[in-house]
Amino acid sequence: MKSICFETVSRYDRKAQPVSVMLPFCKGELFPDSICRNVLTDGENIYPFQPVITSCHDDGSIRYLVLRFLASFRANHNTEFRFTESPSVGVNRPEITYHAVAVEKTAESGIILDNGLISVELGASGNGIIERIIREGRTVAVTEGPFISDGESEYAALVGDDGWQVEETGPLFVSLSTHGRHTDVSGRSWFDYIFRIRFWAGTEYIEAEYQIINTERSRQSHKSALTINNEQAGLKYDDAYPREVLHGLSFRIIPERDKDTVKKLYTSSFNFHATEADADGVVSASVSADTILETPNEMFPEVMFSTFGCTWKTGRQLIGTEIYQAYQNFPKALSADQKSISLSFYPDDYEPIEFPQGVQKTSRFFIFCMDGDASDHEVIDQLLTFEMPPVGCSPSSEFIAAGSFGKEVSELFDPVTERFLYRFVDSRAKGLGFLNFGDCPEWEYSKQGRSLGRDIWINNEYDMIHDFIVMFVRSGDRRYFDYAQAAVRHWMDVDYCHFSESPYHEGLLYTHSVNHVSGQMVPSHQWVQGFLDYYHLTGYREAYDTAMTIGEKLEELVKLPIYNKPGMVEPREIGWALRNFVDLYAETHDEKWKEDCLPIVKTYIEWARLYGTWTSPYPDNYMDRVPFMMQVGIGGLYSYYKLDQREDIRQTLLTVIDDIVENCYNTRLDMFLGKMHPSIRYQNLNGMVLETLEIGYELTGDIRYLEKGLGMFSWITRENNPPIYDFSKIKRDAHTVIYNCPVGPKRFAQTLIPLLRYYTAALENNLI
């Protein structure tokens, strides 16, 4: 039996609430053909579910399963569901039923989606995206767009040449997408797009994602062969990258209209505010950088800031829209005039924004229907639920039993350390704005003089998505899921290069850099685990495809000569590549990923043989020991060792670990140096060395490795607590507002996973 727990999300009873939850399984526990023998129940009713298998063990049994279902929640109550082979003996529970989602092709090769409550007509190739929304047999609205503007022309997204692709289909949930180019009336095109529709049974709304991608070729030739050295690999920023200037993004809903039409525009964080107009009036509002500064808010913006919705009531019908996370992704605007509701994902009267080549941006919104007599409170409850839907999680014990996250997740805990962990993750600077939300500025980089005083965006360095999801799984606190979702959306949009004319860029992630995209692509700043985690949590294939593409492009990048010569670069460069290949092998069981590991393993073994450890030039005339960079290699090589337990790999690991203990540990301080060179031998809060010690313990069973880390553990968790969360906001420019916490994200991002692994091992051995 698997449990799924939901926190209360509303003061009202909610029926047929769409949810998707991940369940972990041990090897051999559940096979695909056995899913149908299970039921989902809240103890009173049995709920239909739509399963999505996201990962399997090597014997074909299920590793992760996403359940999509329509949950019922009692007002102000937590709810628990159970996924079990059969109901309790002797208990007769009613089964809830829904009109299944129907997907039908029209004669013109468009698509009609119907769930019995509303139907949505999607256009055929070359036609409009959403053509009609029908409720109770009546057309309640038609739509126009979306449109993109370069300041001179407006380009429309029409259904692509390939029509609509089915991404997922079933009786409860359907996801469709179309892709193509925006074109203006003269036939000119600008920017690629992807438009996605998600549609559920039992609901009266559609969820839409509109993605624009700058695939425009530069007006000047800048192609050159790629050379890599330490300066180019993240220490120098070149903002001469190609870009376009974006002036506007919009979409229009044209509802039915009569003389009694009433329009309302809503915002709400703590309490709602509504403005109203009659059939001939206008309601409008916009969100700018100044709006963010002037709006009081004490919530984590990834979880909630405010709603931004508009409704149009005519007789018995009400149709409305909500721009998801409008405040976080400002600028945004909404208006309703005599003819239509206009959604501005980037208002054309706002200061234009430079949009770099290869960057994607996703705008998410909802179109919903209700009865015309719905109250303001019912509307606001729906809007707030769009902004903060229920998120469920299984108890951490089930992930532990399935071996899902190793020592990062444990039922052992120390309250003092747990209090530290909450502050450690929460107390970090973060950015808001069209190309910034989900990312964080790192003050440490800027203060070092790497950027001429400009903000350096961390680009989710050290796989913060994975960090957040580990915290979600170990605590069940949904805000960590929201942290992860904001980060993964930004990472897939902005930090991941969708198109480039430069070598070794497309399909990889940028290093931490000014404007997100001015850094270089290097192996030490590629991560896939967070994308895979998010896919397992949601079943959304885009994250999986991103991880796979990064892996495939990384295969080529690590073949460059500099990465195959011992001591030429820091050991972390190929260490992250090795971890990625091992993660992709665990995900796919494809032997090619193991084969990709072999040259890296060979380089590490030869490196230790030549130099006695993994030293590297820093500065040029000094072979430095940098424990945190060495740890990335140790962690990568150890992850491969668990697949192939060769003695030469084990001896190499112990040689490097023992070298760090001998040369980088300071007895008087009872902690490890950040770097060995005398000019930079400062006390460093980077706790990655703790994972090195935990691996030494795993390889030998010698508790002295763990004991060597107690001073470092105390230094991080007891003596240097991060500040409490800071709600102060600063405006950088028209497109950027920063939550000005004095601590950047790098400290927690690089240390969290090593710290958790050491923490669990220390608790198991009664050292804490």
Q: State the Cα–Cα distance between residues 388 and 400, nearest whole angstrom.
A: 28
Reply yes or no on whether the pLDDT at 219 is more than 90. Answer: no
Among all chains, which residue has been given the structure tokens 């000047």?
Answer: 220
Nearest to 130 by CA among 427, 118, 388: 118
Higher pLDDT, 539 or 94: 539
CA dihedral of 281, 286, 291, 292, whole degrees rounded to 10: 130
Give the model's pLDDT for residue 235. 45
Contacts of 744 (CB under 8 A, 6+ apart): 428, 429, 440, 441, 442, 443, 444, 445, 458
pLDDT of residue 232 exceeding 90, the answer is no
What's the pLDDT at 316? 87
pLDDT at residue 90, as a whole number: 47
Answer CATH for 423-764 from 1.50.10.10, 3.10.580.10, 2.40.37.10, 3.40.50.2300: 1.50.10.10
For residue 215, pLDDT over 70 is answered with yes
Banded pLDDT at 227 (limits 50, 70, 90): low
Q: Tens digit of pLDDT for each residue in 104-147? A: 998 888 999 999 999 999 999 999 999 999 999 999 999 999 99
Q: What's residue 742's pLDDT?
A: 85
Residue 633: per-residue pLDDT: 96
pLDDT at 220: 66
> Which phi and psi angles does 160 have, rounded to 5°?
-70, 170
Q: Please determine, for residue 229, whether its predicted confidence score (pLDDT) is greater than 60.
A: no
CA atoms within 13 A on the CB side of 267: 19
pLDDT at site 243: 96
pLDDT higher for 352 or 520? 352
User: Is residue 416 helix, strand or coil?
Assistant: helix
| In the predicted structure, residue 92 carries a pLDDT above the cut 80 | no
368 residue type, one letter: F
The answer on pLDDT for 437 being more than 50 is yes
- For residue 88, name the pLDDT band (cuts at 50, 70, 90): low
Q: State residue 239's pLDDT score.
A: 78
For residue 364, the cross-strand partners are 209
The yes-or-no verdict on residue 315 having pLDDT over 90 is: no
Answer yes or no: are the C-beta atoms of 194 and 213 closer than 8 Å. yes
Note if the bond before 356 is cis, omega within 30 degrees: no
Helix axes 710-717, 746-764, angle to 10 degrees: 130
Predicted confidence band of residue 491 (pLDDT cuts 50, 70, 90): very high
pLDDT of 380 > 90? The answer is yes
* Percentage above 70 pLDDT, the chain: 97
The larger pLDDT score, comparing residue 599 to residue 240, is at 599
Question: For residue 485, what are the contacts with CB-CB under 8 A and spacing of at least 6?
Answer: 302, 534
Nearest to 521, CA basis, from 139, 288, 232: 232
Nearest to 469 by CA among 409, 533, 554: 533
Looking at residue 682, what is its pLDDT?
Answer: 74
Q: Which CATH number fits domain 2-84: 3.90.1690, 3.30.160, 1.10.10, 2.60.40?
A: 2.60.40
- Letter string b/e over residues 654-685, b meaning 16 or more CB atoms within 10 A of that residue's CB: bebbebbbeebbeeeeebbbbbbeeeeeeebb
In whole angstroms, what is the distance from residue 4 CA to residue 469 CA?
Answer: 16
| 653 close to 699: Cβ distance less than 8 angstroms | yes
> What are the CB-based long-range contacts (under 8 Å, 24+) for 711-717?
711/669, 711/670, 711/671, 712/670, 712/671, 712/672, 712/687, 713/687, 713/755, 713/758, 713/759, 713/762, 713/768, 715/671, 715/683, 715/685, 716/685, 716/687, 716/751, 716/755, 717/416, 717/417, 717/420, 717/755
The full set of domain ranges for the chain reads 2-84, 102-216+242-387, 423-764
Task: Over range 206-215, report the average pLDDT.
Answer: 98
Q: pLDDT tier at 619 (50, 70, 90 boundaries)?
A: confident
Q: State residue 91's pLDDT score.
A: 54
With beta carbons less than 8 A apart as the criterion, state whether 120 and 203 touch. Answer: no
Paired tokens of 109: 């090769």
Amino acid 451: pLDDT:
84
Strands of the sheet with 430-432, listed across from one edge:
430-432, 736-739, 729-733
The identity of residue 171, as a single letter, is P
Third-level CATH fold of 102-216+242-387: Beta-galactosidase; Chain A, domain 5 (2.70.98)
Q: Is the peptide bond prior to 331 cis by the omega test (within 30 degrees of 0)?
A: yes
pLDDT tens-digit map of 719-742: 988 888 888 899 999 999 999 888
Q: What is the pLDDT of residue 155?
A: 98
Contact 572, 634 (CB under 8 A): no
Token pair in block for residue 721: 């607590």
Mean pLDDT, the chain, whole residue set: 93
Which residues partner with 268 through β-bridges?
272, 307
Question: Nearest CA to 96 among 169, 201, 206, 5?
Answer: 201
Average pLDDT over residues 174-197: 97
Q: What is the pLDDT of residues 317-352, one digit of tens each?
A: 999 999 999 999 999 999 999 999 999 999 999 999
Supply the Cα-derived Rg of the chain in whole angstroms: 27
Kindly tell me if the per-residue pLDDT of 54 is higher than 90. yes
Question: What is the average per-residue pLDDT within 35-42?
Answer: 94
| Whether the domain at 2-84 and the domain at 423-764 fall into the same CATH topology | no
Cα 219 vs. chain centroid, distance in angstroms? 33
Q: Residue 542: left (phi > 0), alpha (psi -120 to 50), or beta? A: alpha
Model confidence at 703: pLDDT above 50: yes
- pLDDT for the residue numbered 684: 72
